[in-house]
């Protein structure tokens, strides 16, 4: 008997024991995102608690997100090198990630998005912002100069249009495909399963069930493969509403406005 058969039999037994005959549930969006009581979770709580693996009371896609930052950042103050001011040196005690398939993609060499070293504000240079929820840094490129109140000019940087493209359209994204299988998500989507709920929730030295699959795109699948929108009613991708940008003071490097979507 292979591991998949063991997993299926065990899951079937748990569902029967928990009086949970349905494989699919219909829930309001709010409960699906922020948590709902589930008999399977209730049944598994004693076992998960033994290994210290129980991280939530309810099940939901965003149940562990509450507006606080649990990760630890080590950020350069720029005291010894002003060109590294506000550049992330370590994330949770590590100077690089281990989720992706290359050194470049595992790099955390980036700002948190609030301040950049003024020396980096070259219009021909790509800036990087680290997004802990995506377990990766994202590029921003100069687009134009904008003006705010009192005639203050700012540099507007936007994410490239191909930032979430598949390797066929953006070869640099090959390293964001699954390491073991080289499987890539559709164009316009990134797989962040390994950095959402964690990799393992049931581990009894018999089988392992990974965390719920999680993929991220721009709102309304903006810039994604049109096929992704075919089965969803009401999606209307709009670049004015759904892309991301930062407006930076060209001398101080401070972000004075922006949108992260």
| Segment-wise mean pLDDT, segments of 10 residues, the chain, 261 residues | 52 53 76 79 62 64 67 93 96 93 96 95 96 92 93 95 95 90 90 65 32 82 94 92 95 94 86
Residue 13's pLDDT is what?
56
Q: Contacts from 77-86 at CB under 8 Å and sequence distance 24+?
A: 78/117, 82/117, 82/119, 83/117, 83/119, 83/120, 84/117, 85/115, 85/117, 85/253, 86/111, 86/112, 86/114, 86/115, 86/116, 86/117
For the entire predicted model, the pTM comes to 0.76
Residue 231's pLDDT is what?
86
Residue 57: partners with Cβ closer than 8 Å, 6 or more residues away = 35
Residue 247's pLDDT is what?
97
Domain coordinates in residue numbering, the chain = 1-68, 73-159+244-259
DSSP, collapsed to helix, strand or coil, labels residue 177 as coil
């Amino acid at each position: 008997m292979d591991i998949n058969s063991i997993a299926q039999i065990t899951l079937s037994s748990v569902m029967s024991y928990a009086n949970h005959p349905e494989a699919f549930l219909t829930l309001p969006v709010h409960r699906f995102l922020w948590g709902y009581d589930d008999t399977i979770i209730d049944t598994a709580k004693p076992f998960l608690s033994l290994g210290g693996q129980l991280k939530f009371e309810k099940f939901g896609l965003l149940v562990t997100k509450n507006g606080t930052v649990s990760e630890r950042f080590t950020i350069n103050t720029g005291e010894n090198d002003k060109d590294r001011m506000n550049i992330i040196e370590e994330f949770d005690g590590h100077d690089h990630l281990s989720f992706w398939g290359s050194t470049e993609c595992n790099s955390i060499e980036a700002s948190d998005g609030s301040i950049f070293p003024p020396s980096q504000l070259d219009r021909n240079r790509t800036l990087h912002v680290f997004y802990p929820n995506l377990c990766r840094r994202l590029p921003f490129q100069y687009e134009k100069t904008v003006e705010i109140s009192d005639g203050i000019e700012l540099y507007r940087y936007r994410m490239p249009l191909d930032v979430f493209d598949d390797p066929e359209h953006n070869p640099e994204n090959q390293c964001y495909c699954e390491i073991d299988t080289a499987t890539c998500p559709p164009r316009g989507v990134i797989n962040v399963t390994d950095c959402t709920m964690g990799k393992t929730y049931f581990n009894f030295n018999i089988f392992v069930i990974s965390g719920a699959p999680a993929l991220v795109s721009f709102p309304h699948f903006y810039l994604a493969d049109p096929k992704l929108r075919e089965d969803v009613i009401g999606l209307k991708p709009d670049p004015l509403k759904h892309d991301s940008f930062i407006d930076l003071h060209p001398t101080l490097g401070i972000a004075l406005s922006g949108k992260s979507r």
